[in-house]
Structure 1
Amino acid sequence: MGIRILLVEDDEHIGNTVKTFLSEAGYQVDACIDGEEAYHKFLNQMYQLVVLDVMLPGMNGHELLREFRKLNHTPVLMLTALSDDENQIKAFDAEADDYVTKPFKIQILLRRVEALLRRSGALAKEIRYNKLTLLPEDFKAVYGGVELPLTLKEFEILLLLVQSRGRTLSHEVILSRVWGYDFDGDGSTVHTHIKNLRAKLPENIIQTARGVGYRLVGETL
């Protein structure tokens, strides 16, 4: 599974430059120029990192970041010409992970991106959550040293829950992230897969938030 990055930048020249260099570095990059499009993409695709401008038409970067944080903890690097202390503090208060001001050197930006991906575990060959180990490149899940016989969708749901770090994910979010926005299904599809997933786990680590969705229980390693 490749590293997918969401780039939100309304300056066409900067956006094209950053996308080119990130792509040449081996990342899959989805680029957009406004907050509404960015939110739609984030809701319906799994990203390992977001590079986010502050000055955007419509919903600005600070507002968009707050909406992202309602969904998960995907690392977000703010990329902006606003270098004053107030805007930086505002970004970090909204749970930004890093802040790069324009103009910037592209190699420094690439190093910051790599550092955030390392820190989040996205570059790791395996992802651990208590007794659970996920191997994204092989679509395998191991619990307590025993490989679980998961289907692809079950693995993707489990991976999504782990990457969300204990946050509750709604049926709609899981459905759109795993099956895609245009999938003709409903919450019962998610419920059935969660039921099957629980049956294959030696311990029930998936908690139901009644009327809302699902989350993993227990602390991460």
Structure 2
Amino acid sequence: MDIQILVVEDDESINDMVKKFLVAEGYSVDTCFDGDEALEQLYKKNYQLVILDIMLPGTNGQELLKELRKIHDIPVLMMTALDDADNQIRAFNNEADDYVTKPFTMQILMKRVEALLRRSGSLKKEISMGKLTLYPLSYKAEYNGRDLGLTPKEFDILFLLTQNKGDIIPHETLITKIWGYDFDGNEGIIHASMKRLRDKLPVNMIKTVKGVGYCLEENEK
């Protein structure tokens, strides 16, 4: 799976340095220099990780984090010169996942990035549920060893359902995470995508919760 990271940092030299290190490690990286631009970008695109400064022009990092948590539960690493306890506690209360203070070494930052991605499942080489196995890095899905031949969008849907197996994923969440917050279509495209995905699965693992959404249930038949 192509791992997308957003770096939000107004210091151009730090922003550029972090981006170069992340790209060298094989990640896809977008950058923003102020909070308002970052919020707009987060509505447009799905990311697997956000690296976020606190002292930003426009919407500051703490406020941006609160807005982000209304639409996403992706890992957020705060990267800031503010090392006081109050800011750290506030960040964690706003549901930050980690907090690193400047100055820092790039090696430590990369290890924190890897830890958050690993914890969220983005770095897993494979995810299994019964006879179903997903390979996020190659967008490949197998059932009982047979390749299902999924499209990238179908894989993204199945990957999301597998990560939350047993939990109901509402229609709105699917639209936001798979098609993006600015998607201007309707729920019909979800239903059509689900039908195609179900047709490719040897067993019916996807349960429809009428009027709410979908969930994935293990089925060994």
Distance 1:40 1:168 in 2: 24
1:210 match = 211
Contact kept? 2:122, 2:136, Cα under 8 Å: no
Contact kept? 1:75, 1:96, Cα under 8 Å: yes
Contact kept? 2:124, 2:136, Cα under 8 Å: no
The two structures have a TM-score, normalised by structure 1, of 0.79
Question: Are residues 58 and 118 of structure 1, via their aligned partners in 2, closer, same or farther at CA, if it must alter by over 3 Å?
Answer: same
Deviation for aligned residue 1:22: 1.5
Distance 1:100 1:129 in 2: 35
Partner SS, residue 141 of structure 1: strand
Partner SS, residue 142 of structure 1: strand
Contact kept? 1:71, 1:167, Cα under 8 Å: no
Contact kept? 1:168, 1:209, Cα under 8 Å: no
Tell me which amino acid in the other structure corresponds to 1:109.
Answer: L
Q: Unaligned regions of 5+ residues in structure 2, if any?
A: none
Deviates more, 1:143-152 or 1:122-131: 143-152
Distance 2:211 2:129 in 1: 23
Give the number of aligned pairs.
Answer: 216
Q: Does residue 100 in structure 1 map to residue 105 in structure 2?
A: no
Deviates more, 1:182-191 or 1:29-38: 182-191
Distance 2:41 2:162 in 1: 20
Distance 1:168 1:36 in 2: 29
The two structures have a TM-score, normalised by structure 2, of 0.79
The within-5 A match list for 1:23-42 is 23-42=23-42
Deviates more, 1:95-104 or 1:186-195: 186-195
Contact kept? 1:73, 1:164, Cα under 8 Å: no
1:5 match = 5
Question: Are residues 143 and 73 of structure 1, via their aligned partners in 2, closer, same or farther at CA, if it must alter by over 3 Å?
Answer: farther
2:78 match = 78
The within-5 A match list for 1:1-221 is 1-129=1-129, 132-143=132-143, 147-162=147-162, 166=167, 168-171=169-172, 174-175=174-175, 177-179=177-179, 185-201=185-201, 202-208=203-209, 210=211, 213-214=213-214
Residues 79-127 of structure 1, C-alpha deviation per residue, up to 9 Å, x if partnerless?
Answer: 1111111111111122211100112222211121122222222222113
Distance 1:69 1:161 in 2: 20
Deviation for aligned residue 1:6: 0.8
Deviation for aligned residue 1:193: 1.0
RMSD of aligned residue pairs (Cα, Å): 3.0
Partner SS, residue 10 of structure 1: coil
Residues 26-74 of structure 1, C-alpha deviation per residue, up to 9 Å, x if partnerless?
Answer: 2211101222322332233232211111122232222222333333331
